Structure 1
């Protein structure tokens, strides 16, 4: 397609491709959907369309549209133009579907005015801040990823607190003290707990065999000694137990050990033994010996107790890291077996001294010291059992403790990341604050010169409807609806308005909707209007209104120049556009060929002559419009040549039309085959050759009488009569 000028009118008859062209342009308009598949010829597998905008001193810019028979389409608009197309598809999509009740649903957003403050430098700064903020965010993201990776290595990915360890949540946290390393040690200790930990509580040290009160009484008392010689006591004392056992076994005058019969000397000695054993001194010695034996046994018991106590101390040391909240210190200290023996031996020494002289009263300091030490040990055992009982309970609940430790570890990691990223977060927050402030400034600057697209559309639509319909129909910008006598029509508009009124309403809607394509008011310079047959079903009053709306496009959208491609099959409308300089260039489209009009407007029958010429030459087959073309041409000649004739028949009977009357099909086609009738409406329709002869006859008639008409159209007439 080669068209020159920014305001172009293109005349073309029906079926020449106007609608197809408008649809190809509409494919470049955002949000208009796919092309119909039947836009491709039946005998083709694909189709291509190209439209090039040429400007002096600049590179060509093109719109290309391609489509395959399978429905795949490609649209590439490199023209920089904003195409806005009016055709039957626009009317159907925007008004027919809504029963001619306009909707403001698609008119959202703002139009930034030309007077708007230049915010380019601020937007550049805004972009820099955005990049800086993104860099800070990326650094925080990396820290979070590292932390999550470390926790994942500990198999904590199923913990809820792990899933909550995200950058978004970290940014919401306050800085808090954390002890991640300690919790990590606790976790590892719990995780590494042995499977069979013994019960540790219940430790004890038995001291019931020691009668401290008896020992003290024994030591303090002064006992009288029996009247035996020292030699006798020295001899008997070491053998006292043996003698007591022998006396218990004595029965009669025979020795229970050797079987010897006792003599007087022996009986005297035995009586002396018995008196000694039954005496106080022997009893004291026996008591002392019993206490010493108990104390020696106590030392042995303590050594066993110490081994058990130290074993539990070792278990505590081993398990303590897993339960740090339970134990701030170790188990209480107890005396070593050696130290304990020293204290016990002190009491034993006192008892041995007492045994040497039962009449002497002894001090009890060593006994009191042993009492104090055992009391200290008892307290230590109580404290240790309390701690070990808690430890036993914790070990039994170690599974729960491990779960809690995992949760705490994730929480502490979040605190750690928040603390580690504190400077990054503060810097990002400062950037975000500056960004938000600058964005508000830009928004305030832009708001000074912007308006809602919906308001712009409504204002223009209201003005256009008033200019076309006067006070008959009005448009309420607030309700966004057409009114008749102040009554809202809504979807009733389809039944109330005539076809012509609905057509002009659709065109007004099209013009007003142009604002929805603009984000910046200065973008209006990119507008390219493509309009296909805007006056269908319109009487001439509305035709003038449409022409006036088109003429005022420049002032409506502050355009200079206006880019316009208007296509029509109505010669009167075409001429109206040309005569009133609404368009700058006029062209015709016929059989795929675009030609520039040689005059400023078209004679109504010029295109019909071209149709007849092509049929006469056999370049095209007769169609349902051929009869109408014959009638149009002859009626034009009638009005010019013999306007006194009262009818077309009377005109054909004039002498100058005898050649037309001699062709039987000329009058028949004027009467029966014009105005859209087809050859098949007759019982015996004329064949193509008969139609061709009629076309030849008409062309011969014009050639003989008005050859300039053919010359003006560039028809090189050389047909046989």
Structure 2
């Protein structure tokens, strides 16, 4: 049976979808003309034609929908001169009938098995069961994957490009990488550092830091002149004295003044012999002068080379590479500057006193450290520039490394747990699905067997006999159903055999079409299929019928209800849709109902506001008319003696005007004496022409008189053949 119906984006159903949920065995839908009732019946009849609508079947088992609406009338009556024959099972072939019954029991058992398996697979509403567990597992791992995206998005979003706005897409990407990612696992710190350049603004190449020209500086430190004591020639007569005094540098200094003082000693101011000047010249010979010049050159070169080196370092510091440790470089330059200053002081002293040994502080360590800083920086520059030159590959590699990190570090435990649970659930789903497939195959085989058995014992003649019997009993004598020439269809004929289809009134046409549908419910329009379970929809069957037929149709439908309740036949669920208040009252009557809706039924009202249809569910029968209220006054044990007469008159007027063709005088002749007078009094509205003439008409009566009126009132329905309506209304709640 149908559990729920969702209607959206079709006909007058627009905007918010409308739903009929928790449907029962009997479902009554009331609504005015053109409110959207027929759309409901059409969706049930052919849900595949309404892709935006959903019909949910219990256990996923779809039954045969059999729908009576104006489409049915158009298809079966207006578009063809003949009606398809209704095949029913013959009753004489007992053995075949018993085989069909046994096969039907087996078919029902298989169907229940499929429904049970389907519930195991997907739950009652299609969202539970093993598939529901699997969906919940997928949602859980999706959320865990998405949590990692949110955790690392700020720094690693470049790796997530294309998957950052959808948790489902992000999860799918995780699974894709899970199956194929072979990248190396890097630390998060390393990944974030790489991401700054690879995923940041499109980077540009960086220039290399030039190396220092420091070889000359290091060579100066090993110049042999530094350790050489530069003194004069030792075999000159004054050499012994100079050596004894150790004042070679002092003498050399004074010699400069002596040479310009015309042979007078600059210290004692005494004139010297010519031999003294010669001795000085011989003492400070060419070797001495050469060494002195070597010292002078060393001082000059050291100053020049150190200045050049310091300028190179300053240039690097002013415009440093972003990869160099600039603070460390500044510290090393400060150390180099101070060392150079000390060495220049030592060289200056050596120049002043060539005879003294000088030793420079080595720049080897500081220059080595600076070179290391430059080399390290340049190595990173080379890698960076290589990355820039191969940016697409670098981004691809880093992206793979980021996903690998998520897989192997952040999500490893979750993914391993997910895989274990998923594999178990998939195995269960596959197992149940296979069982359903096997059971469905068995069901189809059994159903095919039933169809073959049905072909052995079917006939369209019982339907002819049944429809004609009903037509005759209801006073339709001018036409009947006959078998068409092909032996498989029906035709409508007059008593003389002439074709009656074109001359039927609207009411006759609708009535015979309904009778045809009524018998079709008990059979099939082919020579098989009459034992298939079905859902019946009856949409406005009394649109053009008179009152007699209204009650006949309602009685036939209520007879179907009883068959369903008793488990007879193959109807499992019924929908009745109408705009006729009195038909709705008749067809929904149930003496067992007490106020609230029974578990076997649901009530719905369809309304249209602003060209949009809305469906409302009610927990009790929502249709209560002024006619119902009049009967309510009669049912009251403490009804008013002053107004009861007019209440009874109004009921008779409403009811018998609806029926039409009722002769009140003929009914009154069925009574005698005082009862006849009471009957005429109650029917007095006929002569007055309007009950309004009696709205305020009452006489003072006692309880005995009221009881007499009530007895005659009941007898009127009984003697006119409408006692069932009286009993229904008196029992109504």
TM over 0.5, shorter chain: no
TM-score, length basis structure 1:
0.42
CA radius of gyration, larger in? 1
